[in-house]
Structure 1
């Protein structure tokens, strides 16, 4: 067996130390970019889709499939339909800053012509390139169809149940098997975005919590009751 001289040993140790330092430096340089990119993207998307005249109405801790997140709700500054089931813009953001979804339930979205399926697909793809580019490599389109969301408003002191309709582009992430979708409103912008949805095939129901859905929040005791009829 060849003998390792002190000179060779010192050289080897020096080379290992240099390698470790290089890797550590690379991780240090890489780390901040990875940790700040998601919050910056989420903030930009939220600013872009937050309706004019809305202000923050509350925030709370949330758990999404066992992971920490935060639910933030915005309502109209003039107080119009500011109750569960009424007008709101809500966001759910993971602890690492990744936008898990948002819902834009605004009366201005009532009526109007829906985009065609092809137009809705193009708008959804453009949205994902900005808001969730990590979903694109494993994207598998499932279907594109009109989709209704409930909206409760008060007129002349009485509550009415209305329906907001958008074009839902439903997709599956083949990398992890989870679902995601973009619902495009009549204004040709994302009305609802949800990602990382776990679906249990048998017995056939959604596992992921519905933090963006007022009906679910009321059922779970997380929100005030809707306006009385």
Structure 2
């Protein structure tokens, strides 16, 4: 399933904004761009190394806050430079000050497919993932639903920019102890492409409170507003 420029709330203008925003963002003091040598040698915490996709290199790290708590956003992009920059292919993860994995997102055209795993298989993969990387959530979880979920990615095909959709099966779950949300999205290759936890949702007026550091469109909008001040 290759959905091009057919994403709700996403336009060609937004895609261009993303491309421009990454350049501006890399020049801010909060984004610490690293020399190529440092990017190659610096490593993420050992327990998360297995999550880093092959063919990706670390390109930037950024101090952030998640619901008022300090955390670190680390970004990886393809070693071959394909679809680089904000809005393009990337693997990003957020780890809090205590070393807890708050989430990661792997946006890659390899997930551009409609051949998704069944709900049963998706749930099995999601539970196995949580056992390894977020076991504390298992005793206090309730599954809300399991459905397909798409995310936009800016790509260049035949030297022409476009926006496509990468798709996975999303298992949305609620923490029955504190009411916060978490989810696992499993791609066509049965690999977890997105994980987010401890998401605070405000019922009235109905919006997400927790920052969306793993979402490039949110980053572009946020930093564009900040630079306009």
Q: Does 1:145 align with 2:147?
A: yes
Shift of 1:106: 1.0
- The answer to whether the 8 Å contact 1:42/1:98 transfers is no
Structure 1 unaligned residues grouped into runs of 5+: 1-40, 223-229
SS across alignment from 1:79: coil
Where does residue 104 of structure 2 map in the other structure? 102
Q: CA RMSD in A?
A: 1.6
Shift of 1:112: 5.3
Where does residue 183 of structure 1 map in the other structure? 185
Task: Give the TM-score normalised by structure 1.
Answer: 0.77
Return 108-117 or 97-106, whichever deviates more.
108-117
CA distance in 1, matches of 2:222, 2:191: 30
- 1:56-76 Cα offsets, whole Å, 9 max, x none, are 010000000000000000001
- 1:133-174 Cα offsets, whole Å, 9 max, x none, are 000111011000000011110122211110011000000001
- The answer to whether the 8 Å contact 2:114/2:167 transfers is no
- The answer to whether the 8 Å contact 2:116/2:169 transfers is yes
- 1:98-140 Cα offsets, whole Å, 9 max, x none, are 0000000111222251010111011000000000000011101
Structure 2 counterpart of 1:72, from 63, 71, 74: 74
Structure 2 unaligned residues grouped into runs of 5+: 1-43, 225-229
- 1:191-220 Cα offsets, whole Å, 9 max, x none, are 100000000001100000000000000011
SS across alignment from 1:111: coil
The alignment of Structure 1 onto Structure 2 pairs a total of residues equal to 182
Runs of 4+ in 1 over 3 A off after TM superposition: none
SS across alignment from 2:223: coil
Where does residue 84 of structure 1 map in the other structure? 86
Task: Give the TM-score normalised by structure 2.
Answer: 0.77
Where does residue 207 of structure 1 map in the other structure? 209
CA distance in 2, matches of 1:186, 1:168: 12
- Alpha carbons of structure 1 residues 42 and 145: separation in structure 2 relative to 1, 3 Å: farther
SS across alignment from 2:46: helix
Shift of 1:42: 6.0
Where does residue 161 of structure 2 map in the other structure? 159
SS across alignment from 2:177: coil
Q: Which has the larger radius of gyration?
A: 1
Shift of 1:43: 3.4
Where does residue 124 of structure 2 map in the other structure? 122
